[in-house]
Amino acid sequence: MARIEYSKKIGAETDNLSFGAEGFPISVEGEAEYIESVLKDERSCSFFCMERW
List the domain boundaries for the chain.
2-40
pLDDT above 90 coverage of the chain, percent: 28
CB 8 within 8 A of CB 26: no
Tell me the pTM: 0.59
> How far is the CA of 38 from the CAs of 14, 35, 53, in angstroms?
28, 5, 28
Please tell me the predicted confidence (pLDDT) of residue 26: 85
pLDDT at residue 22 is higher than 70:
yes
- Mean of pLDDT values over 31-41: 92
DSSP category for residue 11: H
- Mean of pLDDT values over 22-35: 88
pLDDT at residue 48 is higher than 80:
no
Which of 28, 21, 20 lies closest to 4, judged by CA? 28
